[in-house]
Amino acid sequence: MIVGIDLGTTNSLIAVWEDGAARLIPNSLGEVLTPSCVSVDEDGSILVGRAARERLQTHPQHSAANFKRLMGSDKTLFLGKRAFRPEELSALVLRSLKEDAEAALGRPVEEAVITVPAYFSDAQRKATRAAGQLAGLKVERLLNEPTAAALAYGIHLREGESKFLVFDLGGGTFDVSVLDLFDGVMEVRASAGDNHLGGEDFVTVLVERFFETSKAPAALRHDAAFMQRLVAQAELAKRALSDSPRAEIIAGDGRQDYRMELDEAALEKACALLLARLRSPVERALRDASLPLAELDNIVLAGGATRMPIVRRMAARMFGRFPSCEINPDEVVALGAAVQAGLKMRDAALDEVVMTDVAPYSLGVSTTVRIGGDHFSHGHFDPIIERNTVVPVSRVKRYFPIRDDQQIIELVVYQGEARMASDNIKLGQLEVRLPSGVEDRGVDVRFTYDVNGLLQVEATVVSTKEVHSLVIEGNPGLLSEQEIAQRFVALSELKIHPRDRIENRTLLARAERLYQHLRGMPREQLGREITGFETALESQDQRVIVPAAKSFRDVVDYFDHQSFLLPDA
């Protein structure tokens, strides 16, 4: 059994291919979206998902989110005293999803297709693979998120050629990809985006607008509890406006309530700058793919933030037509990963598709350029494989020594788009010794880049056919196989919060967050309820816990809805 996983910056999901269709698997809370958050509890046990997201507010020093952005780097995050690498935090999310799937399917889950952004570099892809291994999963394949979205829409089943664009606006990232399906081969022709544009930015705009219009004193910006409450209210209002024409944000400081009413037109106006920023990545992707807008057969929406009608309208205006949005945009990538898992399991109906990806950066060597006479300019970057070239790809270029007596050609391999090599990322280097006294002093440099992001450099001395080669996969920021094995053991020894108690733990985390928001009598009341529920949990008797949880949930729901309205006692 191979599962499909969308390991997102904000939310992660797991899906399976079953009876000819992809199906999402809910977590222990019955939700298909698991927030990509990890937290360490007071007793040192690990919490993943919603409980961890709640604790991000109450216990920021013990919680982490957004670590997908750090994948491929060797940055360390501290949760309490314990240090984690981004791969390890991702692994904890993956492991939690794996356990949810095992519980739902009643059998072990050991293999997975995991999605990654199309622009993910070699190092980021390897880190994602490592995260899978650390979670005890064999990563069957990494799949580009836009390709997954296309698969969910069944675009691979179409006859003839099909060109389309995937417009993915998630929590904090915006990705545009142009894909081409031809002869049963799917290609990512181009990808562009904005790494710092997503649903969260719309919330920030609402918070700013709240301070402008509600008369809430600016000093409240420094009241952390107030700000948390306001951000939560703004998030709810943003979502409410996806379904209804108006919404209200109410946040109080205990003495007074401040309000802001808004409708879709006001949201659109307030977010005009954000909406405008959606345009240039789309234009860049189409330009890189050398594809006029009119030739697109389809526009596919992905990412939770494309649920916003103002975003959909902006997209429709940009493209001059309505995008496909029949599948929930925050679920489409995971469903597509499961379709790919189905293909992998050789489901006869679908296995004709061969997937291809693109090189996310240009790959090349540093060269010296003659600028007239005996004058040279060194350190120019000369791309051999251009960015957005479909992989696997193999390209060759011939280079010559600049001096007749030169005995060595130093090939320094770089990745990037800058004109000067030193402004790009150095990947490795290869020394090629030149024979003297021969006519042809050229060296053929072949770059072969594969689906797994492995770069093979092969330098052939033209006259002697002597071959020097270099395989680039090592990255200083990446874990070696041996380190992965060691960390796998260490991670396996971590205490994970028991699955069957996650629901109650999440409820408790939510209550603790509310407790921080409240003041006076309501706070005291909730405090007593929390202690009461903790006592019930300690009894370890389901006959006590189940009814206690039910009534505690009602209390927490009540405070959650009322928290911003309750006055000080």
Active-site residue list:
6, 68, 145, 168
The minimum distance between CB 394 and ligand ADP, in angstroms, equals: 33
Decide if 129 contacts 142 (C-beta within 8 A).
Answer: yes
User: Is-contact 194 170, C-beta < 8 A?
Assistant: no
- Which residue, 243 or 374, is less far from ligand ADP as judged by CB? 243
Q: Are 15 and 63 in contact (CB under 8 A)?
A: no
**Residue 464 DSSP SS3:** coil
* Cα separation, 497 vs 508, whole angstroms: 13
> For Mg ion, which stretch binds (CB under 5 A), given 5-13, 128-136, 316-324, 553-561?
5-13
Q: Determine, following the binding rule CB under 6 A, whether residue 27 of this chain makes contact with ligand ADP.
A: no
In angstroms, the CA 325 to CA 306 distance is 9
Q: Would you count residue 170 as binding ligand ADP (CB under 6 A)? A: yes
Extract the runs of DSSP E, i.e. beta strands, from 386-511: 390-391, 393-399, 408-415, 425-433, 443-449, 455-461, 467-472
Q: Which of 132, 170, 172, 336 touches Mg ion by CB under 5 A?
A: 170
Distance in Å, CB of 517 to ligand ADP, minimum: 20
Nearest-CB residue for ligand ADP = 199
| Contact region with ligand ADP (CB under 6 A), list: 134-142, 298-306, 357-365, 470-478 | 298-306
Q: What is the dihedral of CA 206, 212, 215, 220, to 10 degrees?
A: 70
Only segment of 7-15, 244-252, 357-365, 507-515 that touches Mg ion (CB under 5 A): 7-15
238 binds ligand ADP (CB under 6 A): yes
The residue among 4 and 8 lying less far from Mg ion, judged by its C-beta, is 8
Q: Can you read off the two tokens belonging to residue 418?
A: 């800058």
- Residue 8 or 522: the one with the smaller Cβ distance to Mg ion is 8
Which one of residues 4, 171, 416, 522 is an interface residue with ligand ADP (CB under 6 A)? Answer: 171
Select the residue interacting with ligand ADP from 5, 9, 79, 441 (CB under 6 A): 9
Residue 308 touches ligand ADP, criterion: CB under 6 A:
yes
385 contacts 475 by C-beta, under 8 angstroms = no
Pick from 4, 14, 193: nearest CA to 100? 14
Closest by CA to 1, choosing from 94, 95, 106, is 106
Q: Which is nearer to ligand ADP, 234 or 359 (CB)?
A: 234
- Cβ–Cβ under 8 Å, residues 71 and 242: no
Task: Return the structure tokens found at 207.
Answer: 């918070």
Among Mg ion, ligand ADP, none, residue 49 binds (CB under 5-8 Å by kind):
none
User: Applying CB under 5 A, does 193 fall inside the site for Mg ion?
Assistant: no
From 3-11, 202-210, 401-409, 482-490, span contacting Mg ion (CB under 5 A): 3-11
Q: Tell me, by CB under 6 A, how many residues bind ligand ADP.
A: 21
Q: Contact with Mg ion (CB under 5 A): which of 2, 3, 4, 8?
A: 8
Q: Smallest distance, Å, CB 13 to Mg ion? A: 9
Using CB under 6 A as the binding rule, whether residue 175 contacts ligand ADP is answered as no
Residue 471 bridge partners (DSSP): 456
Whichever of 34 and 366 has its CB closer to ligand ADP, that residue is 34
**R_g of the chain, CA atoms, integer Å:** 27
What separation in angstroms does the CA of 66 have from each of 162, 430, 472, 548? 34, 37, 28, 34
Q: Check: CB of residue 552 under 8 Å from CB of residue 511.
A: yes
Kindly tell me which of 122 and 200 has the beta carbon lying closer to ligand ADP.
200
DSSP class of residue 424 equals S
Query: How many Å from the N-terminal Cα to the C-terminal Cα in the chain?
Result: 57
Q: From the list Mg ion, ligand ADP, none, which binds 239 (C-beta under 5 to 8 Å, kind-based)? A: ligand ADP
Which range of residues in 164-172, 409-417, 473-481, 539-547 is near Mg ion by CB under 5 A?
164-172
Largest pairwise CA distance in the chain = 95
Does residue 10 belong to the site contacting ligand ADP (CB under 6 A)? yes
Nearer to Mg ion, 170 or 193 (CB): 170
Q: Does 37 bind ligand ADP (CB under 6 A)?
A: no
Gap between the Cα atoms of 48 and 35, Å rounded: 8
**Those residues with Cβ within 8 angstroms of residue 361's Cβ, 6 or more apart along the chain or in another chain:** 121, 387, 415, 416, 417
**Toward ligand ADP, which CB reaches closer, 8 or 342?**
8
Chain residues binding Mg ion by CB under 5 A are 8, 170
Chain residues binding ligand ADP by CB under 6 A are 8-11, 170-173, 198-200, 235, 238-239, 242, 303-305, 307-308, 330
